[in-house]
């Protein structure tokens, strides 16, 4: 993989603050602006790359994972799909674009990704219904029908995108919250309003929020991509504010090749130029020496797609955008028919590359699995008592867990509180916990989906080894449960007598399960 373009820098951090003056920028583009396209644009000379717009609600459901096989940082949705994938190579120059209509949610997402990106952008230019429409009045059936009829695949609550343009208070709130709340530069991308004056006033208001730059797509909300771009409006904005203005919208009329980028910049008096379609058709538009033949561009794109395990449907979509008029050629037809990354590679006579690359991946996966095994081996301390058990909540009364029983037993026996140490395997992200009780370690040999479950399993191993009841429904009466029942009964009696319902703290501590972190620090009374 080392021979692939742009991968050599992995592991290096370039810690520069983003500057938006004199830059050539890859625009955010849904489906197009994924990692392979961004890296290719950087290779060809783009200075800054924006990711495709990602919706705040969807991002908030994601987990951040370090993918050791691909050497990427992945944000993974609950359905295991990669929502955002990035890597060290672009860390200093990728701007994360988000769709949001809510300041707090936007901030939460920004904090989630802040350390992996160079800046955060709020999209205020998307005119599509799924972004702009306020769905609060819809019932679930209407909403479902609308989702199907508009082929809406993105989770959204509307009020985002271009709808924000008519809600400057909300714009102000989102941008101010972001600027105050994160350390990275914040930008936003707008479309122009019906009047130049209103547009300039809006941008002046946006400037006051402290954003580092503003990207202006020089079209109105209702204008289509083939309508002429309003360079005069972008120019009026550039002259009215002192923050960098990034001119966008020139692909159709202006930007046919590299030298046109400067022409567009001059026509708009902007600080930087952002390119979408011209870069989607041929990302080597950013190359000052001129275009690279499309065949080479597509092959380089495929290399990145394979290297970063891009979903084949996305790879296919981007290649179709590049092939455009050539979709009817033999190669175009093969691409159209391809149902996997392998078949795409075959269509581009890159079957050998695919084989070699996947062999390298397999080797990496195997070595990562071996590392995982080694981690297991480290846990294979012969002094640790092990059993293959899992915690199943259904086997216990509500609010009762093995961890509580173990804590209670330790108190009774005057042992220090149990100490849980949990590790997570990078490969499958499962957890294993080791609990230390009276200087003896216990663990389950089964790995769990969460830290909580892993700790409960470790507690069960300990309780079973010690022959102490673990609180299961099937155990029936035992001294600990009896004690608890007695306490509950006392508590009820107190209630019946109208006494204070709050439990004395020493009693409450008995059956409150503390997290392992707190367990380490807090000793019971």
Choosing from 126, 231, 318, 345, which is the catalytic residue? Answer: 126
Does residue 249 belong to the site contacting ligand FNR (CB under 6 A)? yes
CA distance 383 to 342: 48
3-state secondary structure at position 259: helix
Coil, strand or helix at 397: coil
Interface with ligand FNR, residue 189, by CB under 6 A: yes
Q: Is 276 in the site for ligand FNR (CB under 6 A)?
A: yes
Q: Which helix (H) or strand (E) holds 501?
A: none
- Residues 340, 312: contact at Cβ < 8 Å? yes
Residues 78-97 that bind ligand FNR (CB under 6 A): 97
Q: Which of 421, 440, 441 is nearest to 432 (CA)?
A: 421
C-alpha 103/C-alpha 178 separation (Å) is 7
Using the contact rule CB under 6 A, the part of the chain among 23-31, 308-316, 443-451, 511-519 near ligand FNR is: 23-31
Q: How many residues bind ligand FNR (CB under 6 A)?
A: 23
- The piece of 103-111, 233-241, 245-253, 371-379 that touches ligand FNR (CB under 6 A) is 245-253
Among 24, 41, 53, 309, binds ligand FNR (CB under 6 A): 53
Q: What letters, b where the CB count within 10 A reaches 16 and e where it falls short, cover 68-92?
A: ebbbbbbbbeeeeebbbbbbbbbbb
Candidates 24-32, 105-113, 261-269, 299-307; binding stretch for ligand FNR (CB under 6 A) = 24-32
Instruction: Determine how β-strand 63-67 pairs with β-strand 72-76.
Output: antiparallel
Please say which residue, 217 or 451, places its beta carbon nearer to ligand FNR. 217
Interface with ligand FNR includes 227 (CB under 6 A)? no
CB of 203 to ligand FNR, least distance (A): 16
264 vs 442, beta carbon nearer ligand FNR? 264
Nearer to ligand FNR, 190 or 459 (CB): 190
Among 217, 303, 386, 403, binds ligand FNR (CB under 6 A): 217
Query: Burial code of 379-417, b = ≥16 C-beta within 10 A, e = fewer?
Result: beeeebbbbebebeeeebeeebbbbbbbbbbbeeeeeeb
- Site membership for ligand FNR, residue 100 (CB under 6 A): no
User: By C-beta, is 36 or 125 nearer to ligand FNR?
Assistant: 125
Q: Does 30 bind ligand FNR (CB under 6 A)?
A: yes
Q: Per rule CB under 6 A, is residue 58 in the interface with ligand FNR?
A: no
Q: Tokens 């100490």 label which residue?
A: 419
Helices (H), 241-385: 258-268, 277-281, 294-307, 312-323, 330-337, 341-347, 351-379
Per-residue x/- track, 336-375, ligand FNR (CB under 6 A): ----------------------------------------
225 is a site residue for ligand FNR (CB under 6 A) = yes
Contacts 24+ apart (CB under 8 A), 164-173: 164/101, 164/122, 164/124, 165/124, 165/190, 165/191, 165/193, 165/202, 165/221, 168/202, 168/205, 170/101, 170/103, 171/122, 171/124, 171/202, 171/205, 171/206, 171/209, 172/205, 172/206, 172/208, 172/209, 173/103
Stretch that binds ligand FNR, among 132-140, 276-284, 409-417, 424-432 (CB under 6 A): 276-284
- 248 is an interface residue for ligand FNR by CB under 6 A: yes
| Helix or strand holding residue 152 (H, E) | none
Query: Is the Cβ of residue 31 or residue 485 nearer to ligand FNR in the bound state?
Result: 31
* Chain length of the chain: 525
Active site residue 345: no
Nearer to ligand FNR, 90 or 455 (CB): 90
Ranges within 119-138 binding ligand FNR (CB under 6 A): 123, 125-126
The piece of 62-70, 131-139, 274-282, 405-413 that touches ligand FNR (CB under 6 A) is 274-282
CA 54: distance to chain centroid? 9
The site string for ligand FNR over 283-322 (x = CB under 6 A, - otherwise) reads ----------------------------------------
If the CB atoms of residues 233 and 379 are measured against ligand FNR, the closer one turns out to be: 233
Question: Which residues are bridge partners to 95 per DSSP?
Answer: 50, 119
The catalytic residues are 126
- Binding residues for ligand FNR, rule: CB under 6 A, are 27-30, 32, 52-53, 97, 123, 125-126, 189, 217, 225, 248-252, 275-278
């Amino acid at each position: 993989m080392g021979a692939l373009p742009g991968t050599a820098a992995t592991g290096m951090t370039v810690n520069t603050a983003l500057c938006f003056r004199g830059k050539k920028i890859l625009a955010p583009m849904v489906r197009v602006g994924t990692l392979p396209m961004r890296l290719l644009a950087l290779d060809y000379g783009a200075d800054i790359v924006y990711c495709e717009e990602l919706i705040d609600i969807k991002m908030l459901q994601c987990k951040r994972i370090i993918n050791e096989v691909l050497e990427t940082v992945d944000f993974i949705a609950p359905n295991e799909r990669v929502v955002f994938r990035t890597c060290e190579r672009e860390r200093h120059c990728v701007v994360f674009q988000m769709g949001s209509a809510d300041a707090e949610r936007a901030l939460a997402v920004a904090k989630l990704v802040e350390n992996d990106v160079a800046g955060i952008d709020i999209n205020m230019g998307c005119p599509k219904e799924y972004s702009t429409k306020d769905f609060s009045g819809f019932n679930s059936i209407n909403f479902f029908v609308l989702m199907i009829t508009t082929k809406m695949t993105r989770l959204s609550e509307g009020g985002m995108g271009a709808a924000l343009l008519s809600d400057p208070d909300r714009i102000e709130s989102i941008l101010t919250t972001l600027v105050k709340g994160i350390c990275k530069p914040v930008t936003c991308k707008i479309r122009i309003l019906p009047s130049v004056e209103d547009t300039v006033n809006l941008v002046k208001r946006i400037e006051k929020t402290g954003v580092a730059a503003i990207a202006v797509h020089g079209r109105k909300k209702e204008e289509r991509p083939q309508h002429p771009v309003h360079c005069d409006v972008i120019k009026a904005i550039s002259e009215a504010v002192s923050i960098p203005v990034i001119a966008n919208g020139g692909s159709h009329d202006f930007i046919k090749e590299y030298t046109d980028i400067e022409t567009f910049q001059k026509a708009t008096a902007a600080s930087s130029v952002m390119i979408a379609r011209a870069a989607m058709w041929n990302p080597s538009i950013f190359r000052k020496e001129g275009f690279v033949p499309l065949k080479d561009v597509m092959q380089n794109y495929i290399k990145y797609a394979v290297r970063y395990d891009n979903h084949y449907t996305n790879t296919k979509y981007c290649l179709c955008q590049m092939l455009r008029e050539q979709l009817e050629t033999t190669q175009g037809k093969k691409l159209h028919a391809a149902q996997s990354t392998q078949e795409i590679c075959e269509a581009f006579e890159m079957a050998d590359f695919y084989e070699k690359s996947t062999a390298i991946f397999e080797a990496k996966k195997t070595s990562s699995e071996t590392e995982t095994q080694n981690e297991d081996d480290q846990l294979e301390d012969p002094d640790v008592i092990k059993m293959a058990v899992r915690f199943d909540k259904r086997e216990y009364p509500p609010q009762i867990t093995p961890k509580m029983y173990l804590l209670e037993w330790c108190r009774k026996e005057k042992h220090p509180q149990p100490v849980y140490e949990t590790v997570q395997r990078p490969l499958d992200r499962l957890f294993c916990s080791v609990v230390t009780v009276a200087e003896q370690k216990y663990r389950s040999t089964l790995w769990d989906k969460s830290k909580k479950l892993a700790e409960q399993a470790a507690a069960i191993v300990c309780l079973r080894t010690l022959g102490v009841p673990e609180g299961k429904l099937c155990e029936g009466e035992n001294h600990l449960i009896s004690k608890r029942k007695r306490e509950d009964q006392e508590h009820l009696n107190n209630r019946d007598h109208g006494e204070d319902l709050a439990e004395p703290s020493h009693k409450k501590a008995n059956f409150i399960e503390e997290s392992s972190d707190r367990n380490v620090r807090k000793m019971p009374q």
